[in-house]
A and B are shown apart, each in its own frame.
Chain A
Amino acid sequence: MPNIRLSSVFLASALALSPAASGAETLRFASQGDIGSMDPYVVEEVFTSGFLGNIYEGLVRRAPDLSIQPALAESWELLSPTHWRFHLRKDVTFHDGTPFNADDVIYSADRVRAGASDFKNRLPSDAKVVAVDDYTVDFITTEPNPILHYTWANWYIMNRDWAEANGVGDADKAASEESYATLHENGTGPFQLVSRAPGVKTTLSRYDGWWGEGSVPTNVTEVEYTPVPNAATRVAALLSGQLDVVFPVPVQDIARVEAAPSGKIEAGPEVRTMYLTMNQWRDTLPGSGLEGKNPLKDRRVREAMYRAIDLETIHARILRGRATPAALMVAPGVNGYSDSFKRYEYDPDRSKELLAEAGYPDGFTFTFQCSNNMYVNDEAICLAVSNMLAKVGIDAKANVQAKAQYLEAILSPNMDFGLAMLGTTPASLDSHIALYSLHMCPRADENSAVWAPDDLAKIVAGKSNFAGYCNPEIDRLANEILIETDEDKRNALINEAWTITTDDVAYIPLHQSWGAWGVREGVGVEVRADNIFDWRYVTVAE
């Protein structure tokens, strides 16, 4: 008897498998980490919000070329510089069949700004959201913001009825009870959740009632996502045909994947800019032993560091040509980028001269904090930079750590670094956010000290400026850029600001890496510069 039961289980599993094998097109893909939560307001992280963008939708979305497209809003207009009107799409239903309307937008606007939402900055806290009718919503802000909706592509609209019926409260990271929204969804997007085992496997299927059916190329009906943190395992699984798409493929494995008959690489420059941040506000440079002295406050020393780094060789050897050297803190494609800016030339001799002028002919020592699992070849780049700085006499002691320990060291309140490597992606794809959070003075008001320990909670502008770069002129320009509605004037102001920060050597921009997607032969994908994987553009050959 047990035998018969056993074989019926076999049969059942075989039957369960067969539709996927014949009729349906399944996309099996893997990346390094799992999504944090199915709740779209809990974790702002590229992979999670990109993943959820296939399930949930915002009022707007970004096309493969990152241009803004209508999504749940069909169109919008600016009634005055502070008054926006959005016209909603009428034929939309959530995955449970509930029709979508203005009330859901109001609910989402409230929830995204409440509790421990990671997306609070999508909408100013004092902005009013008003339903004019079932399919028209007004946003009224106190300050003009010409790019209000630029960051809305991953502010996803949730369904009020569903949330309230299931007791979904505000986003709460310190909760003691599991939220219903953590493992369930009710979006409007083309894919809906079938099953999810966090950290193991998530399966999704096509939502038949999607409003956009036929407007995008995808023929995928099933999606299986597996987190595979180990890069070698990921590449191996692609090469052995177990997966259709893997991301990221380490640069050194690109050639191998391309050479394999079953695989190919889809790559393009990322919009994330990698940079080195130099601690300019501590009175004693961390790790230097120079009591009361911080050489990095001296512009000449910063230029000397800049010129000591042979980016071309890093580019050729470590990134194997798959990167775009950067002279600015924003990437091509971000509004306000200009190729008129040039990198300071690699010139170790000039570097030594500058160090001597600044009074450090024999160099100095400091702590160089690096991650080893956050960015493309971050560890190798860090060690190479450390070796290059050694050649001009600067001893940058590389401390390579995993993300958790690394972030703890460099973020507020510790900010314990002389030099650190980071990447930045402006969410709005506009220069203002980069100026605002990375270049404005991190202080409570004009008279306080930078990163004064008592003011940490009050620092909003310059909140990611852990280097403590502070130039009041930039503060003034950034505030003007925020409210300037004339595009030409605004871009001129941005250009002025970038000129100043470049002259100041506020940061050392390095490059934009190229995100490399390993794709099985016969599968088509659209690679986006923000590394978001939009399944709407995936095709799987029969």
Chain B
Amino acid sequence: MIRFLIERLFQAAVVLIVVALLAFVMFRFAGDPVAQMVSLDTTAEDRAALREAMGLNNSLPVQFGQFVLRAVQGDFGLSYQMGQPVATLLAERLPASIELSLVAFGIALIVGIPMGVYSGLYPESWLSRAFLILSLAGISLPTFFIGIMLILIFGVELNLFPTFGRGETVDLGWWTTGLLTGSGWHSIILPACTLGLFQMTFIMRLVRAEILDVMRTDYIKFARARGIAKGRINYGHALKNTLVPVLTIAGLQLGSIIAFGIVTESVFQWPGIGLLFIQAISTVDIPVMSTYLLLVALIFVSINLIVDLLYLLVDPRLRVRSR
């Protein structure tokens, strides 16, 4: 157990270093940060001086060494564009992304699980079929398209919801939250639905498949044979057995919601880390881009680690089935 833990921690560290290296290398080619930082009229001399001062003329290994050395100390440098420490920028934006992800995830669970349970228990009913096709249509439309359509219909035509931003936020000192104000909740609905739609579909299908699976198992058949009431079988046995794997796999998805909220955040101008990242790409703000990537890598590696450990604790056999 300890050996396994150490092994995984070591592997996680390797993963992070490789991600750092890749992030670093790829951003070398993403465009010229200097061109973004000066006006069109700046002379070639001033540009060259800036490039030199920023250390862009050092050899790649030297630059990478400096980057890692500082990163380990928690210093990710200053944003080229905003002149602020990158760590501060990310920390300021993270609450917005986490809140959006959690609400999206919540919506996905609240809507997805009942739909999945129903269509798993009554696979032949027309409503189940409708759910299935509807959910497919949901994942067949690109996220950005759904977002734009929601803005167009509910934001502009019907004027029911705000079309961008977080609304009023409350600063709790270490966390800014939009979930304590009416306008915050009002603003989060459309982006959360957009972001949650794919997860909802995913969860619904997962629950459905698990229920279908469980309903075929011997002990449910046995329970049926014993004449236990249908409701108790369905909700007492089938659902209970379904939820553990569903929540685990869905939990894995939480990381990807945070990481892949980029598109939703950019359509709704949601001030989270995804939007920060997209803006950083367009301005070649290398420190922001690499730190974001490291953060996402860290989130993923941690989630994977936790899930692996949980599998090990709960049921060693599950490790094989993990997807």
Please list the residues of chain A having a beta carbon within 8 angstroms of any beta carbon in chain B: 6, 9-10, 12-13, 17, 34, 36-37, 39, 42-45, 116, 118, 120-121, 172-179, 182-183, 197-201, 226-230, 232-234, 236-237, 239-242, 373, 402-405, 407-408, 411-413, 422, 424, 427, 437, 456-460, 463-464
Residue of B nearest to A423 (CB): B40
Alpha-carbon distance between A45 and B266 when the two chains are bound, in angstroms: 23
Residue of A nearest to B187 (CB): A242
| B83 lies within 8 A of A175 (CB) | yes
10 residue pairs, one from A and one from B, having the closest CB atoms: A404-B31, A174-B53, A408-B32, A44-B39, A407-B35, A200-B271, A182-B83, A457-B45, A456-B44, A198-B82
Alpha-carbon distance between A202 and B282 when the two chains are bound, in angstroms: 21
| A10 lies within 8 A of B82 (CB) | no
| B168 lies within 8 A of A13 (CB) | yes
Question: For A460, what are the chain B residues with a Cβ–Cβ distance below 8 Å?
Answer: 43, 45
Q: In the complex, how many angstroms separate the beta carbon of B83 from the nearest chain A beta carbon?
A: 4
Question: For A242, what are the chain B residues with a Cβ–Cβ distance below 8 Å?
Answer: 162-165
Interface string of B70-93 (1 = CB under 8 A from A): 000000011111111100010011
| B41 lies within 8 A of A413 (CB) | no
From DSSP, what is the main secondary structure of chain A's interface residues? loop
Q: Which of B132-140, B150-158, B308-316 contacts A (4 or more CB under 8 A)?
A: B150-158
Residue of B nearest to A6 (CB): B180
| B156 lies within 8 A of A240 (CB) | yes
Question: For B268, what are the chain A residues with a Cβ–Cβ distance below 8 Å?
Answer: 233
For window 213-272 of chain B, which residues contact chain A by CB distance below 8 Å? 266-269, 271
A116-B50, A407-B35 given; A437·B41 CB < 8 A:
yes
Quick check: is B36 within 8 A (CB to CB) of the other chain? Answer: yes
> Which of B46, B156, B170, B284 is packed against the most chain A CB atoms within 10 Å?
B156
Question: For A464, what are the chain B residues with a Cβ–Cβ distance below 8 Å?
Answer: 40-41
Quick check: is B11 within 8 A (CB to CB) of the other chain? Answer: no
Q: Identify which of B47, B53, B165, B266 contacts A226 (C-beta below 8 A).
A: B165
Q: In the complex, how many angstroms separate the beta carbon of B36 from the nearest chain A beta carbon?
A: 6
Give me 22 A-to-B residue pairs in the complex whose CB atoms sit less than 8 angstroms apart, sorted by A's number.
Answer: A17-B168, A36-B81, A44-B38, A118-B38, A118-B39, A120-B46, A173-B53, A175-B78, A198-B84, A198-B89, A199-B271, A201-B271, A226-B269, A227-B269, A230-B267, A236-B163, A242-B164, A402-B31, A407-B31, A407-B32, A407-B36, A411-B35
Alpha-carbon distance between A407 and B32 when the two chains are bound, in angstroms: 8
Question: For A403, what are the chain B residues with a Cβ–Cβ distance below 8 Å?
Answer: 36, 282-283
Alpha-carbon distance between A236 and B84 when the two chains are bound, in angstroms: 31
| B39 lies within 8 A of A183 (CB) | no
| A197 lies within 8 A of B271 (CB) | yes
Question: For A408, what are the chain B residues with a Cβ–Cβ distance below 8 Å?
Answer: 31-32, 35
Quick check: is B25 within 8 A (CB to CB) of the other chain? Answer: no
| B269 lies within 8 A of A233 (CB) | yes
| B151 lies within 8 A of A232 (CB) | yes
- How many residue pairs bridge A and B at CB < 8 Å? 176
Given A200-B93, A236-B156, A411-B40; 9 other pairs, CB 8 A cutoff: A13-B168, A44-B41, A173-B54, A198-B82, A236-B152, A236-B155, A237-B164, A427-B41, A456-B48
Quick check: is B148 within 8 A (CB to CB) of the other chain? Answer: yes
| B37 lies within 8 A of A43 (CB) | yes
A240-B156, A404-B35 given; A179·B83 CB < 8 A:
yes
Alpha-carbon distance between A201 and B159 when the two chains are bound, in angstroms: 23
Question: For B170, what are the chain A residues with a Cβ–Cβ distance below 8 Å?
Answer: 9, 12-13
Alpha-carbon distance between A17 and B183 when the two chains are bound, in angstroms: 11
Question: For B92, what are the chain A residues with a Cβ–Cβ distance below 8 Å?
Answer: 197, 200
| A402 lies within 8 A of B282 (CB) | yes
A175-B78, A230-B267, A404-B282 given; A457·B44 CB < 8 A:
yes
Question: For B306, what are the chain A residues with a Cβ–Cβ distance below 8 Å?
Answer: none
Quick check: is B276 within 8 A (CB to CB) of the other chain? Answer: yes
| B162 lies within 8 A of A233 (CB) | no
A407-B35, A464-B40 given; A233·B82 CB < 8 A:
no
| B151 lies within 8 A of A45 (CB) | no
| A236 lies within 8 A of B41 (CB) | no
| A178 lies within 8 A of B85 (CB) | yes
Q: Looking at chain B, what size class is its interface with the partner chain?
A: 35 or more
For window 265-323 of chain B, which residues contact chain A by CB distance below 8 Å? 266-269, 271, 275-276, 279, 281-284
| B50 lies within 8 A of A240 (CB) | no
Question: For B269, what are the chain A residues with a Cβ–Cβ distance below 8 Å?
Answer: 226-230, 233
| A404 lies within 8 A of B54 (CB) | no
Q: In the complex, how many angstroms separate the beta carbon of B295 from the nearest chain A beta carbon?
A: 16
| A412 lies within 8 A of B83 (CB) | no
Quick check: is B59 within 8 A (CB to CB) of the other chain? Answer: no
| A178 lies within 8 A of B44 (CB) | no
Question: For A118, what are the chain B residues with a Cβ–Cβ distance below 8 Å?
Answer: 38-39, 42
Question: For B41, what are the chain A residues with a Cβ–Cβ distance below 8 Å?
Answer: 44, 121, 427, 437, 463-464
Residue of B nearest to A236 (CB): B163
Residue of B nearest to A49 (CB): B39
For window 1-44 of chain B, which residues contact chain A by CB distance below 8 Å? 30-33, 35-44
Quick check: is B58 within 8 A (CB to CB) of the other chain? Answer: no
Q: In the complex, how many angstroms separate the beta carbon of A184 from the nearest chain B beta carbon?
A: 12
| B165 lies within 8 A of A36 (CB) | no
Question: For A12, what are the chain B residues with a Cβ–Cβ distance below 8 Å?
Answer: 170
Alpha-carbon distance between A70 and B80 when the two chains are bound, in angstroms: 35
Quick check: is B181 within 8 A (CB to CB) of the other chain? Answer: yes
Residue of A nearest to B39 (CB): A44
> Which of A42, A172, A178, A458 is packed against the most chain B CB atoms within 10 Å?
A178
A173-B53, A182-B82, A233-B268 given; A404·B284 CB < 8 A:
yes
Alpha-carbon distance between A127 and B207 when the two chains are bound, in angstroms: 76
Alpha-carbon distance between A241 and B156 when the two chains are bound, in angstroms: 9
Residue of A nearest to B70 (CB): A176
Alpha-carbon distance between A178 and B87 when the two chains are bound, in angstroms: 12
Residue of A nearest to B37 (CB): A173
Alpha-carbon distance between A407 and B284 when the two chains are bound, in angstroms: 11
Residue of A nearest to B172 (CB): A9
Residue of A nearest to B272 (CB): A200
Question: For A463, what are the chain B residues with a Cβ–Cβ distance below 8 Å?
Answer: 41-44
Question: For A179, what are the chain B residues with a Cβ–Cβ distance below 8 Å?
Answer: 83
> Which of A200, A229, A407, A458 is packed against the most chain B CB atoms within 10 Å?
A200
Q: In the complex, how many angstroms separate the beta carbon of B106 from the nearest chain A beta carbon?
A: 18
Q: In the complex, how many angstroms separate the beta carbon of A24 from the nearest chain B beta carbon?
A: 16
Question: For B163, what are the chain A residues with a Cβ–Cβ distance below 8 Å?
Answer: 233, 236-237, 240, 242
Question: For B39, what are the chain A residues with a Cβ–Cβ distance below 8 Å?
Answer: 43-45, 118
| A413 lies within 8 A of B31 (CB) | no
Alpha-carbon distance between A44 and B38 when the two chains are bound, in angstroms: 7
Question: For B32, what are the chain A residues with a Cβ–Cβ distance below 8 Å?
Answer: 404, 407-408, 411
A373-B282, A457-B44 given; A240·B159 CB < 8 A:
yes
| B267 lies within 8 A of A233 (CB) | yes
| A178 lies within 8 A of B31 (CB) | no
Question: For B50, what are the chain A residues with a Cβ–Cβ distance below 8 Å?
Answer: 116, 173-174
Question: For B284, what are the chain A residues with a Cβ–Cβ distance below 8 Å?
Answer: 404
Q: In the complex, how many angstroms separate the beta carbon of B266 from the nearest chain A beta carbon?
A: 7
Question: For A241, what are the chain B residues with a Cβ–Cβ distance below 8 Å?
Answer: 159
Q: In the complex, how many angstroms separate the beta carbon of B65 from the nearest chain A beta carbon?
A: 16
Alpha-carbon distance between A460 and B42 when the two chains are bound, in angstroms: 9
